[in-house]
Amino acid sequence: MYQEEVVIEIFEWYQSIEKRLLEITNVIPFSSEADLKKICSPRLVPIMVETCSVVDTLFRDLMPENFQRPGPKGRKMTRNGANIYDYYRELEATLHLGETKSLLLLGKPVVLCPFKNWSDSSSSPMEWWKVYNRLKHDRIKSSKEASLFHCINALCALKQLMTKIPAVMELSLRFSWVQTAGYNPIITIEEITKINISKYVAYSEFFATFLSPVIWDTPDEIRPVNLRNHEKLIAHLGRLVTKFEHET
């Protein structure tokens, strides 16, 4: 799908956004989800807009060149006219983003699922995407909606989407997202490029993203022993499940 130089640019783009967000979080302590929603700053606005813009671009590249919207008045569309609801209808059956989860690696462990409310209807939109749309149209009026919590979810969404692109995952070892855990690197790369079946974890400064959908909703439910490269996960959670816990 992408040439190597384009994939490198995508990784560098992600790292740049993550670094800028780290500069802010280095002076703001992580606390509860409610507190993170209260932390807003004009400095978060460009981070939010840029992050979601990359998400939008990657989705658009994954779309078929032509598609038809459902319903009696469904129009024939090209990918350039696609919106977030089109992305859901055309891509979610393959990507399974609504089931994809990440563990926040800064501060108190929190399981994030930014695409949890993703659907083909505006009745249950993702809040961070709604904020992005409002910021696109009026940054000044909507700037107070760019909370730290929304920025973290948007960045998490970007990383999760990147893990669904085989060409991106082929270079994930180079950028230290995935560790071989003692396996042959060729075998590791072969596994992690098979979307939604890998038992590996993709790590960045902010997130440990599970490459396969998991049922864990809280940090206490996470079973690191079920995952190949679980060392960082164990260190952050401060525990390794026992054989008995694994079997149950």
Residue 246 has what pLDDT? 43
Residue 25 has what pLDDT? 86
Report the percentage of the chain scoring pLDDT > 70.
Answer: 94
Q: What pLDDT digit, counting tens, does each position of 180-201 carry?
A: 999 999 999 999 999 999 999 9
**pLDDT higher at 233 or 33:** 233
Residue 124 has what pLDDT? 63
**pLDDT higher at 141 or 21:** 21
Residue 107 has what pLDDT? 81
pTM above 0.85, yes or no: yes
Does residue 248 register a pLDDT over 60?
no
Residue 34 has what pLDDT? 77
Rounded to the nearest integer, the mean pLDDT of the chain is: 91
Q: What pLDDT digit, counting tens, does each position of 143-155 carry?
A: 888 999 999 999 9
Residue 121 has what pLDDT? 79
Does residue 101 register a pLDDT over 70?
yes
Does residue 245 register a pLDDT over 50?
no
The pair of structure tokens assigned to 129 is 């995407």
Does residue 18 register a pLDDT over 90?
yes
Give residue 85's pLDDT band: very low, low, confident or very high (50, 70, 90).
very high
Does residue 224 register a pLDDT over 70?
yes
